[in-house]
Chains A and B, each alone.
Chain A
Amino acid sequence: MKQTTFLAAGAVFGFLLSRARATDYAAIHGMFTLTDLHLFGVIGVAIATAAAGLALLRRGDLRALNGERIHVAPKPYHRAVFAGGLVFGVGWALSGACPGTALAQLGEGKLYALATVAGIAGGTWLRQRSAVNAASPAQVS
C-alpha cells in the first residue's frame, strides 16, 4: 500500500479529530471536570459506530480492497495494561492531548503542541528501552 494513501488517511482522521474538538484543551479539561460532556458523547458514538462497521466487515467475511486479509485482532491483555493506562490518562489530562490529537493540533496552528509531541516521542522511547531490557511484552501493540 502506498505511503501517500496512509498520509491521506491520516489527514482525514486528523480533520475528524479537529472537527470533533478532540484537539481542544478546554474540551478535554471540561470532560475531566465534568463541565463539558461533549467528548464523552463523541467517544460513545464513535465506539458504537465502529463496532457496527467492524461487525459488518466480519459478517461479510470481506477482504480489503488491496486484497489483503483484514487484520483487526483484539489487543493482548497483560499486567501492564491497567498501570500503563493510568499513566497515559495522567498525561492525557496534563497536556490536554493524546498521540493523534497532539499532531492534529500542530496543523491547526497550535505550535505549543510541539512540546507535547516531543514528550510523547520521548516517553515512547523510554518505555521501549526499559521494556527491551526487561524483556516484557510491552512492545506488543
Chain B
Amino acid sequence: METWPFWLAGLGIGAFVPLFAFATGKALGISSGYSEMCALNKPASSERWKLWFALGLPLGGVASALLAGGPTWVASSSDLTSALGLGGPAQLALLALGGGFIGYGARAAGGCTSGHSIVGIAQGAKSSLIATVGFMVGGFAATWGALLLAGGAA
C-alpha cells in the first residue's frame, strides 16, 4: 500500500476537521456512528448523518487500494500473525474481542481517536486529553501484555 509521509497525512487529516465543520456545521466523530448502526430499528435521529459518514469510510479504503493496484482481498492479517503468532479463527476472535473493547470504551469515554484525540484535543478540551491519555496507557499495557503472553514472539 502506497502511503504518505507523516506530515502530509497529518496535514490532510487535520485540515479535514475544520473543512468538514465549515461544510456541514458538524464536528467529526466516528464511534457514535456505530450507535446509529445499533439504532437502525428506530426512527432516524438527527445523528443519522454519522451512519452515512461511517458507510463512506470503506469507499475511501477502496479508492486508496485502487490507486495502489488493489484491492487485494485477504481473510487474515499476516502482520497479526508475525506480531503475536496468531492466525485463522484465533485471530478473528482476538479482533472481535478487541473490537468489543473499542466499542464499549468509546461509548464510556464519549468518543474515539477522531472525536477525542484529534477534534477534542485540537479544541483544548480537558475531557479529550484525559480520554487520550487513557487510550495510550491502555494501548501500551495491552500491547506489552499480549507480547508477554505470546512469549515475546515479536
User: Which residues of A approach B to under 8 Å, CB–CB?
Assistant: 1, 3-26, 29, 31-33, 38-39, 41-54, 56-57, 62-66, 68-78, 80-100, 102-113, 115-128, 131, 138-141
Contacts and interface: CB of A to CB of B under 8 A. Distances in A.
B78 to A, nearest CB: 9
Nearest to A3: B52
Interface string B108-143: 111111111111111111111011111111111111
B131 A95 contact: no
A33 B10 contact: no
B103 A119 contact: yes
B55 A10 contact: yes
B141 A21 contact: no
Across chains A and B, which 8 residue pairs bring their CB atoms closest together, nearest first?
Answer: A85-B134, A119-B99, A10-B56, A89-B138, A45-B10, A14-B60, A107-B61, A49-B14
B128 A112 contact: no
Contact of A73 (B10, B27, B61, B114): B27
Interface of B: 1-4, 6-7, 9-35, 37-38, 49-50, 52-65, 70-77, 79-80, 83, 91-128, 130-144, 146-147, 154
Contacts of B56: 6-14
Contacts of B91: 112
Contacts of B116: 75, 85
A95 B102 contact: yes
A32 B117 CA distance: 16
B100 A120 contact: yes
- Describe A's contact surface by its main secondary structure: helix
Contact of A102 (B26, B37, B99): B99
B61 A118 contact: no
Contact of A64 (B25, B60, B133, B138): B25
B109 A81 contact: yes
Given A83-B134, A124-B35, A88 B105 contact: yes
Nearest to B6: A41
Contacts of B14: 45-53
B34 A42 contact: no
A108 B61 contact: yes
Contacts of B147: 33
Contacts of A6: 24, 49-50, 52-53, 56
B12 to A, nearest CB: 5
